[in-house]
Structure 1
Amino acid sequence: MYSAHKLPSGNYRVRVLNYVDINNKRHFKSFTAPTPQEAEDKAKEFEINNEKKINNNPYSELTLKEAYQRYINCKSSILSPSTIVGYKRYLKNYFQDIMPLPLKCLNQEIIQIAVNEMSANHSPKLVRNAYSLLSSVLSMYYPSLKPNIRLPQKISPEYVIPTTADIKRY
């Protein structure tokens, strides 16, 4: 799982992904030890402690549907009424397969499958908007989950430029 690399000093180093910032820059935690096994053990200990912090999330038992409802209620006085109505529509109509799941059960694969299923029947813009709301809900109630989801490509509009004959006809 971990790969220790020998440094010029003779020690061994293991790098573990710590977090990804808002600019999608990856930040690593580095562990150095005289032997590869010690460096790997330090990295494992770090991940175990980091996972305990994730599991201490008070919202991890919430279902995704409850998290959506809380998010909408939390934002109801800040956002416009039409935005709230749209959010409720998204809650009611999209990602219904994963709505009953607790937040702690969600992972990148489950979310990607849900996005793929939605992409089969809906426009890329709608899928992007629905995922954007899902992402906002997750960042508020389960910030340790930072899925890297592949969304459908945007459809480029096809413009029809009328010819002079078309313009004269009208």
Structure 2
Amino acid sequence: MATAKKLPSGSYRVRVYDKVTGKYRSFTAPTKREAEHKAAEFLRYRVDTRDTRLTVREVCQRYINERSNVLSPASIDRYQRILDKQLSEDFKDTYLEKLSESIITDEVNRLCGKYTPKTVKTTVHFFLPIIRKHRRDLELDDIRLPKVFPKVKEYPEPAVIMQLFRGDRMELEVLLALCYGLRKEEIRGLRSSDLSGNVLTIRRVMIDVGRTSVVRENAAKTVNSIRSITVAPFVADLIQARSGDYVTSMSGQAIYKHFSRVMAKAGYSITFHDLRHINASVMLYLGVPDKYAMERGGWATDNTLKKVYQSTFSDQRKRFDDMVDNYFSKIYDTNI
């Protein structure tokens, strides 16, 4: 920032450039420190008055529209649902220039009384940064969110799950999640051609955006989610037995509901995604090294991913592949 200069009158003046108007602004004070402080405060809290004449709804919608080709379809759909369904009409219709800390706090409090802590956190983390960008003068750091406590679940043994879905129309989907940690979106994106011999490549996802299924090639949840895994013969046989281009024709909701219904009937309250956690627990139980487990399940960061691919495509990786496959194969064969 520019340094204040002493005027003939004895006061100090500092000039700063205002990017919003494209003009310079002058700030005068009795001391150099005061003049520079005024200028710094102006730059810190400068707000484009053109934006403050917009409503919360308008700036949030603009944020979504400007990122429609950058964010994933799932993220765009989630943000649109937050804007359309979760935020109150009164809050969305409030002009930015009329917003106050109390109005925002009241909206957060309303959300806390209606939704789970996790949903509240996701919702607030969507709209708060957008508001903060346009109203930097508001003190928003003190807004408190409910704590998200981890859920404690008791998972059934893998053998129990395998037995429940033996011969079921969703047996393959369950095995892919249970034995290999595939996400529901990854399973839906699998094509028969992704299996070469006993190597299965996960390179796309299929997600639901509204009532439409969207396929994204070479775009799994993260970069490390695009991966190849060795599958056991009994899984490869089930994949080859499926007809059609895609391995499954079930929607995301159909997979979720059918799995939950079968498990609930057997006395278990777990979701389809929990199979991924069970898979991770099995690898921990078998002593599979962390970096291989992360690669196999697609959990690593980009940096970790590079290190993993440099060191695990070897005889050692084949040994761990066989170890995990043998574990599930024995269970599968025992339950015949």
Give the TM-score taking structure 2 as reference length. 0.33
Structure 1 residue 125 and structure 2 residue 118: aligned?
A: yes
Of 59, 66, 69, which residue of structure 1 is paired with 2:61? Answer: 69
Deviations 1:104-130 (A, max 9, x none): 211221111111111011100000000
How many percent identity over aligned positions?
27
Structure 1 residue 136 and structure 2 residue 129: aligned?
A: yes
Structure 1 residue 88 and structure 2 residue 80: aligned?
A: yes
Count, aligned residues: 126
SS in 2 for 1:152: coil
Question: Is the alpha carbon distance of 1:83 and 1:159 closer, same or farther for their aligned partners in structure 2, counting shifts above 3 Å?
Answer: same
62-71 or 89-98, larger mean C-alpha shift = 89-98
Question: Is the alpha carbon distance of 1:161 and 1:72 closer, same or farther for their aligned partners in structure 2, counting shifts above 3 Å?
Answer: closer
Give the CA deviation at 1:155: 2.4
Question: Is the alpha carbon distance of 1:56 and 1:86 closer, same or farther for their aligned partners in structure 2, counting shifts above 3 Å?
Answer: closer
Preserved CA contact (<8 Å) 1:59 1:142: no
> Which has more radius of gyration?
2
User: Separation in 1 of the partners of 2:67 and 2:133?
Assistant: 11
Residue in 2 that maps onto 1:14: none
Which amino acid counterpart does residue 103 of structure 1 have in structure 2?
Answer: L
SS in 2 for 1:132: helix
Which amino acid counterpart does residue 110 of structure 1 have in structure 2?
Answer: I
Give the TM-score taking structure 1 as reference length. 0.61
Residue in 2 that maps onto 1:113: 106
Deviations 1:32-83 (A, max 9, x none): 97xxxxx9xx59x939x739x6454331111000001110011111001111
Deviations 1:70-107 (A, max 9, x none): 10011111001111111110010122131001112112
Which amino acid counterpart does residue 80 of structure 1 have in structure 2?
Answer: S
Residue in 2 that maps onto 1:24: none
User: Separation in 2 of the partners of 1:107 and 1:138?
Assistant: 11
Structure 1 gap ranges (5+): 1-30, 34-38, 163-169
4+ residue runs over 4 A deviation: none
Preserved CA contact (<8 Å) 2:64 2:76: yes
Residue in 1 that maps onto 2:250: none
User: Separation in 1 of the partners of 2:85 and 2:125?
Assistant: 15
User: Separation in 2 of the partners of 1:159 and 1:98?
Assistant: 37
User: Separation in 1 of the partners of 2:155 and 2:65?
Assistant: 46
